[in-house]
Structure 1
């Protein structure tokens, strides 16, 4: 992991939880682009992103190993209006993260501190080991504040003196570390994998204002991945095609009638293209393919859409 501070000319400002796109161009003209959550608060002096190095990645090895002070990047953002937090949204807050999923939640925590919010916050984060927990020192400093409670679970290695939680995040741990349902918490989840109960549903969160449990925001990917993402994974290319942030575009699934926005779709990205499915019935909503620099979009499952403002 590496946190990179960026000076972005004419940056319009961002909201806590948004992400940005980084595009690299090779000498032969080949371009590749990846999206990264913004780690800094809107009030920060500079923009920062935290990059997880993937051995088979096209962008992250360069950002982690090769990028030097003064180098220039093609940078676009901010993007995404679904997974954001403002103080006006209220609370209490329950922030749940696994691994690099902590990045956008760190932006929320820093924003919470910068504006002097009095809303109580509980944080649950998992890591393979204490050494691999990103922002570890900062989390400990935040936990010393009266309004923020931090819980950590280690999934693989733990020191012999460890008195925290062990194992993956599951409904029981969510119930133990989160808020009671009567508190009506506002919950944000950014994790690759959370164990569910026997019904296949995620338990332990209460009935209201809970973000989709499978959302995996802005992880660097290789050329091919069949890991389910959310609709924010399509933000960059759709912005190129339509000239606006399309993650807030509304739709209605023709198979089950679910209504939602693009950011809520379940997305699978592979070499040939991208498939977006309905989160409720798994019907194909949208297919996006590229061939020889030209894009083809087919939307068999969402003929009714509501475009966001330009």
Structure 2
């Protein structure tokens, strides 16, 4: 039997939604539906008329489902040939090539029960939102503490949805820090993630986390993990996903 995750298939863009000034969500209708786990990703392949191909990987933002539809959120990079295509050229109805779901290390089991800490920087929050959505869809009682770092209030991907979930579900909490905010408010800190902010996110869990997921740029992940380890969290519980140089 062929493993569908290793086979390229055609998907149709069924919807496009702007999340922030640099991030758009693309809803893809799959020709061959698959079931994924939160934290997995897909490869996207673009082929130019001259045969040149570019492949990029994007986290799946949607919760696991069997309806043949997935959501990916793409951050426009200044020199990104694939991200520029999606932001400037792609339209609803366009066909693209994808393969997946891929990745098994940075995944959160849908039947988990222990407390979980999620830490994301910028678009690194995307797979973590998939984990939150998976938790909501499962209906299980599992404490999640999500900590996100973004430049400004308007740069927080899936912001309104996250805030809504944090008000609706008692054992899901949201901590936000903005690196380009001039002052702090009751809703967010105004600095890079440090030991004090990590402590706030940890204290919002009923007990030490059994799993920690950190996603973002190399520098962000290195810094966040350093602070998490200083807080006394078991290093073996930490999983990381990095992007960028």
CA contact (8 A) 2:45 2:56 kept: yes
Whether 2:238 is the aligned partner of 1:211: answer yes
Relative to the length of structure 2, the TM-score reads 0.80
CA distance in 1, matches of 2:210, 2:117: 6
SS at match of 2:197: helix
CA contact (8 A) 2:60 2:72 kept: yes
Q: Aligned in 2, Cα 1:84/1:100: closer, same or farther, shift over 3 Å? A: same
Aligned length: 217
SS at match of 2:81: coil
Task: Kindly report structure 1 stretches of 4+ aligned residues shifted beyond 4 Å.
Answer: 158-163, 179-182, 194-197
SS at match of 2:25: strand
CA distance in 2, matches of 1:201, 1:165: 17
CA RMSD of aligned residues (A): 2.5
* Higher RCO structure (Cα 8 Å, ≥6 apart): 2
Which one has the bigger helix percentage? Answer: 2
Whether 2:220 is the aligned partner of 1:187: answer no
CA distance in 2, matches of 1:208, 1:202: 7
SS at match of 1:106: helix
Whether 2:163 is the aligned partner of 1:140: answer yes
Report the CA distance between 1:94 and its aligned residue.
Answer: 0.7
Whether 2:144 is the aligned partner of 1:117: answer no
SS at match of 2:177: strand
Equivalence for 2:5: none
Report the CA distance between 1:212 and its aligned residue.
Answer: 4.1
CA distance in 2, matches of 1:157, 1:53: 22
CA distance in 1, matches of 2:80, 2:114: 37
Whether 2:117 is the aligned partner of 1:94: answer yes
Report the CA distance between 1:171 and its aligned residue.
Answer: 2.8
Relative to the length of structure 1, the TM-score reads 0.64
Larger Rg: 1
5+ residue gaps, structure 2, are: 1-22
Structure 1 residues 50-89: aligned runs within 5 Å? 50-89=73-112
CA distance in 1, matches of 2:232, 2:28: 36
